[in-house]
Chain A
Amino acid sequence: MTERTIQVEILTRVEGEGGLLLKLRGSDVERIELRIYEPPRFFEALLRGRPLEDVPDITARICGICPVAYQMSSVHALEQALGVAVSPEVRRLRRLLYCGEWIESHALHVYLLNAPDFLGFDSGLDMASRYPEEVSRGLRMKKHGNQLIEALGGRSIHPINVAVGGFYRSPRRDELERLIPDFRWCVDAAIETVRWTASFDFPDFSRDYQMVSLIHDTEYPMNEGDVGVLEAGPGPDGGRGAERIPVAEYERQFREDHVAHSTALHSVRVGTGRPYLVGPLARVQLNWEHLSPTARELAREFGFDRTCGNPFRTIVARSIELVHAYEEALEILGSYEPARPARNTYAYRAGAGCAATEAPRGLLFHRYTVDEGGRVREARIVPPTSQNQGQIEADLRAWVPHVATADDATLARQCENLVRCYDPCISCSTHFLNVRVERA
């Protein structure tokens, strides 16, 4: 029986640095390791002893693509610890900021990172020559997402306007209203994006996922809700049949395990030890009823009102979320009133708080303990890529037999394609250093 070892030293078109090891005996998979070797970054330890006001700006530095997610989860958790409520205007502004992040992250991934896989190109650069109109459309969509973040956050990468209790400054109406014409164009462009991605030739591959996403009674989840768990199965759901877990229970229901080959932890469900899926595919299916009207119709048209376990079709779910994000952003932009005050005040007190929000790549959990002087005593951050990592390996294990007869280069490429569907952010996920101590 032929033994084959396929090693992808550096995964391309993913955020951060990781590799993939695949050992086959015939068409049987002996070993699959998504190797995240980027050094751990110790953000949780870095936060200890610092003023809690520093947390949103420090955690934003974890990622250049999804800094808003880190700011949102951190301020919500800290506000819970301090007993601070934010005004409805601040809440809407935070959703608007999150729309900007989903837009810039999703547009980048759909057009430049993931679409080349389905159209047979090695890179977004190669694809641009043959699909200049589509790539230009994706770049413009991304640009307007970045402009929204800049208008709200002061700058488009690592914004600096998010504060515990609200924002440091409410944007003026004219600063946001000037974005409206471009966002109207973007809604049409996003609809076109859904139709374009849905036309791709997807492999016939489906998984029985345990899908995990925030769920909310009245809105598509970004900033708040319970944790919903949906076991894959037939029939429409919309989150109604999902198990609901309060965010405060998250750490009792989900666990992170160390694995030797990765500086990222692997998340599993407590009790079953099963990996689970977070991100757009789970989010759309758990919440499709709360999508914006156009996005909801598209979700129905392309089958996301019932269970879809094909990870390759995540690009369509991501595109549907682009429609939602532009439509929700337009609604908020059109009715925006500056929050006064921009930020609620608070008194320091010892306490603990946790929060989960939906980063572009999936659920992002933060927990903080603070002391009576307003300093961070303890921090815990569980990013979406850690939560997906075990599922990615499980999916690769199931996928490889479908393509095992291919030559090594093709097989490696097929595996990379699958990994890219989850839009992993490796830099976000590196938390763990495997320290081995040997004593004589």
Chain B
Amino acid sequence: MTGLRTLVVGIGSPHGDDRAGWIVADRVARAASEARVAVRIARSPIEAVDWLDGVRHLVLCDACRGLGPYGTTRRWEWPIPVDARMDWSGTHDMPLPAVLALAERLGKLPSRVVIWAVEGRPSAQHSDDAHLSPELVPILDDLAMRIVRDIEESVERP
């Protein structure tokens, strides 16, 4: 990935609204005009650490809980505060903030990291249903366009 300017990573799974990150990544891949934008999908945030060589701008998108009403979206720029207890305290995997903090300590984190999140429906997030909630589709379309514009604006910056 040497020479890559922007990497977009959609994080998720094939289950219900948890696939939101993957769908946004797919929409961004279709819409992005900047040649040096790569788009990948990951099941776990830690996978992205292996893809950061040469990346100057990392964009992450994931479904999450606790943002607010269903479909709420939010954008953060790294750094964000990382609770010490998020440091591998869970049984499943490293949470996204811990992964980013780790990448930073390892000297791998790009200079600009943007995180986009969308509130999924809890029941669908944990079901075996492969389908996204239909109400989320236009929200993700819009989110993908916002991400593309955000990337283009960052490219235009000196």
- The contact string, 1 if C-beta is below 8 Å from chain A, for chain B 32-66, is 00000000000110110110000000000000000
When the two chains form their complex, are residues A123 and B93 in contact, meaning their CB atoms are under 8 A apart? no
**Complex: chain B residue closest to A130, CB-CB:** B105
Given contacts A108-B88, A124-B87, A157-B93, contact A143 B46 (CB under 8 A): yes
Alpha-carbon distance A427/B47, docked complex (angstroms): 25
In contact, B89 and A425 (Cβ under 8 angstroms): no
Pick from B47, B84, B93, B102: contact of A64, CB below 8 A.
B93
CA distance A139 to B46 in the complex (A): 9
Closest chain-B Cβ to A68's Cβ sits at a distance in Å of 13
A425 closest partner in B (C-beta): B91
Q: B85 near A10 (CB under 8 angstroms)?
A: yes
B91 touching A15 by the CB < 8 A rule? yes
**Cα–Cα, bound, A139→B105 (Å):** 13
Q: Is the CB of B102 within 8 A of A125?
A: yes
Q: Using known A-B contacts A123-B84, A139-B46, A156-B43, determine if residue A13 contacts B105 with beta carbons closer than 8 Å.
A: no
A7 CB–B CB distance under 8 Å: no
> Is the Cβ of A128 less than 8 Å from the Cβ of B106?
yes
For the complex, give the distance between the alpha carbons of A136 and B106 in Å. Answer: 8
* A residues contacting the other copy or chain, number (CB 8 A): 30
B90 interface residue (CB < 8 Å to A): yes
The number of inter-chain residue pairs (CB within 8 angstroms) is: 60
Set A16, A63, A113, A132: member contacting B88, Cβ < 8 A: A113
Provide the A132-159 mask, 1 if CB < 8 A to any CB of B, else 0: 1001100100010010000000011100
Does the CB pair B105–A129 fall under 8 Å? yes
Q: Are A427 and B106 in contact (CB under 8 A)?
A: no
Q: Is A87 an interface residue (CB 8 A)?
A: no
Q: Decide if B145 is an interface residue (CB 8 Å cutoff).
A: no
Residues of A within 8 Å of B106, CB to CB, are 128, 132, 135-136
A64 touching B91, Cβ below 8 Å = yes
A139 interface neighbour in B49, B84, B89, Cβ under 8 Å: B49
**Cβ–Cβ contact B91 & A63, under 8 A:** yes
Q: Which of A196-254 contact B (CB under 8 A)?
A: none
CA distance A132 to B91 in the complex (A): 23
Set B49, B85, B107: member contacting A12, Cβ < 8 A: B85
A135 contact set on B, CB distance < 8 A: 102, 105-106
- Are A157 and B92 in contact (CB-based, < 8 A)? yes
**Which of B43, B47, B91 has the most chain A CB within a 10 Å cutoff?**
B91
User: 1/0 contact trace for A103-125 toward B, CB 8 Å?
Assistant: 00000100011000000001111
CB-defined contacts of B91 to chain A, threshold 8 Å: 15-16, 63-65, 425, 427
Query: Does B101 count as interface, using CB distance less than 8 angstroms?
Result: yes
* Contact bitstring A1-18, B, C-beta under 8 A = 1, else 0: 000000000101111100
Q: Which residue of B lies closest to A104 (CB)?
A: B93
* Nearest A residue (CB) for B94: A112
Query: A56: shortest Cβ distance to chain B, in Å?
Result: 16
Q: How far is the CB of A385 from chain B (nearest CB, A)?
A: 12
Chain A nearest CB from B14 CB (Å) reads: 9
Residues of A within 8 A of B98 (CB): 125
CB distance from B2 to the nearest CB of A (A): 18
Render A173-215 as a binary contact track against B, CB cut-off 8 A, 1 for contact. 0000000000000000000000000000000000000000000
Let me know if A64 and B92 touch, CB within 8 A. Answer: yes
The interface residues of chain B lying within 8 Å CB-to-CB of A139 are 46, 49, 102
Distance to closest chain B CB from A414 (angstroms): 19
State how many angstroms separate the Cβ of A138 from the closest Cβ of chain B: 11
| Interface hits, A37-65 → B, CB 8 Å | 63-65
Please tell me if the beta carbons of B50 and A143 are within 8 angstroms of each other in the complex: yes
A63 partner residues in chain B, CB cutoff 8 A: 91
Distance, CA A135 to CA B89, complexed state (A) = 17
Q: Are B88 and A112 in contact (CB under 8 A)?
A: yes
Complex CA–CA separation, A135 to B46 (angstroms): 13
Q: Which residues of A contact B93 (CB under 8 A)?
A: 64, 157
Give, as a whole number of angstroms, the nearest-CB distance from A179 to chain B.
15
Given the known A-B contacts A16-B91, A139-B46, A143-B46, are A128 and B85 also in contact in the complex, defined by CB atoms under 8 Å? no
Known contacts A143-B50, A157-B93: does B43 contact A13 (CB below 8 Å)?
Answer: no
A64 and B87 contact, CB distance less than 8 A: no
A residues in contact with B101, CB < 8 Å: 125
A-side contacts of B50, CB under 8 Å: 143
A156: chain B residues within 8 A (beta carbon): 43-44
Which of A64, A126, A155 touches B90 (beta carbons < 8 Å)? A64
Q: Which residues of B are in contact with A by a Cβ distance under 8 Å?
A: 43-44, 46-47, 49-50, 84-85, 87-93, 98, 101-102, 105-107
A contact set with B: CB distance below 8 Å: 10, 12-16, 63-65, 108, 112-113, 122-126, 128-129, 132, 135-136, 139, 143, 146, 155-157, 425, 427
25 inter-chain pairs at a CB distance below 8 angstroms, sorted by A residue, are A12-B84, A12-B87, A13-B89, A14-B89, A64-B92, A65-B92, A112-B88, A122-B84, A123-B87, A125-B98, A125-B101, A125-B105, A126-B105, A128-B105, A128-B106, A135-B102, A135-B105, A136-B106, A143-B46, A143-B47, A143-B50, A146-B44, A156-B44, A157-B44, A157-B93
Beyond the given A13-B89, A64-B92, A427-B91, please list 18 additional residue pairs across the A-B interface where CB-CB is below 8 A: A10-B85, A12-B85, A12-B89, A13-B87, A15-B91, A16-B91, A64-B91, A64-B93, A113-B88, A123-B87, A124-B88, A126-B105, A128-B102, A132-B105, A135-B106, A155-B43, A156-B44, A425-B91
10 shortest A-B CB distances, which residue pairs? A64-B92, A128-B105, A64-B91, A129-B105, A123-B87, A15-B91, A132-B106, A65-B91, A427-B91, A128-B106
